A and B are shown apart, each in its own frame.
Chain A
Amino acid sequence: MPPEQGPDPGPDPESVAEQVFIALADPTRRSILAALAAGGPATATDLADRLPITRQAIAKHLTLLADVGLVTAEPGERRRVRFRLRSAPMQVAQQFLAALARDWDGPLDALTGYLDRAAQRGEGR
C-alpha cells in the first residue's frame, strides 16, 4: 500500500533501489561506475581513455546515471563537465540487499538444536 501523499513524501526507497539495480544491470554502466569509484571524478573523455567504450556511448550512459542521481555533474578543468559518483542511492540499495542477506533461519535452527541438547542433558542427570 502506498503511503498517504504528504507535503513532501521524499524519495521512496524501493524506487531508489530499483534505479540502482537497473543501472547495475548493464555492463557498460557497471564499468563506468566502477571507474568512478576506483579513480574518483572524471570527464567522459577521461573515461573513454580508460574504458573500451566510445565517448558517445559513455556520454549517453552518464546522462542516464545523472538523471537517476547515481552521478552528479560538476565543472571540471578546461570547462569540461566532470562526473562524480553519488553513494547515497547505493546505500539505500545496500540496505535492501541486507534484508535479503539477513539469515535468521540458520541461527534459529541452531537455537532449537541448543535447546533440545540442553533439555537432554537435563534429563540425563
Chain B
Amino acid sequence: MGFPDRIERTLDVAHPPRVVWAAITTAEGLAAWFGQEAEIDLRPGGVARLAWDGGHVAELRVERVEEPSVFGFTWRVDAMPEDDPRRTYVEFTLEPTATGTRLRVVETGFAQLPDEGYRKGFESHTEGWGRELGELVAYLDAA
C-alpha cells in the first residue's frame, strides 16, 4: 500500500480521561490546542466549528459521543472542492491507564473514490458549464 487510507496516533498523557475528554470535546479545550477559535454542539449530528488565524475554517459533524471514552466526528478533506461529498472520519478513544490516559486518534477515509452518483453529477455539471458558455456565445452572437 503506497498511500495511507488510515492515520493513527497513540499517546499516553499524565491526566485522567475526564480532563482529556474536556480538552477534546469543549469549545474552551478545542480552542486551546486545535483551532484558535472553536464552538461545538456536543451530540451526534451536532456541528463543531474550528477557525484558525488566517481565515481557515473547519466544520465538523459530531458522530459519536460516549463520555468519557469515545468522541468521533467527520469533516471534509482539505483542498477538495466545496461540493465534494467525501468526508474523513476521526475517532478519539480514551482508555484509563495507571498513570493517566491512553489517547488514540484514528482518521480514516482518505482512499475513498467518489461514488457513481457523484461522478455522474460531476460529469453533468462540467457538461452543463460548457453548454452554458455555448448559450452565452449564442446570445452574444444574436445581440
A residues contacting B by CB (< 8 A) are 10-11, 13-14, 16-18, 87-88, 91-92, 94-102, 104-105, 107-108, 110-116, 118-119
Contact = CB atoms under 8 A, between A and B. Distances in A.
Contacts, number: 92
B77 A108 contact: no
A101 B78 contact: yes
Given A13-B111, A88-B114, A94 B15 contact: no
27 contacts: A13-B111, A14-B1, A88-B122, A91-B84, A94-B77, A94-B80, A95-B77, A95-B111, A96-B110, A98-B79, A98-B80, A100-B3, A100-B4, A101-B79, A104-B9, A104-B107, A107-B33, A108-B11, A110-B33, A110-B34, A111-B34, A112-B13, A113-B33, A114-B32, A114-B33, A115-B19, A119-B19
Given A104-B9, A115-B23, A14 B3 contact: yes
Interface residues of B, number: 36
Contacts of A13: 3, 111-113
B119 interface: yes
**A interface, over-half SS:** helix
B9 A105 contact: yes
Contact of A111 (B2, B23, B80, B122): B23
Interface of B: 1-5, 7, 9, 11, 13-15, 19-20, 23-24, 29, 32-34, 77-81, 84, 86, 105, 107, 110-114, 119, 122, 126
B33 A92 contact: no
B46 to A, nearest CB: 21
A98 B105 CA distance: 17
Contact of A99 (B4, B13, B14): B4
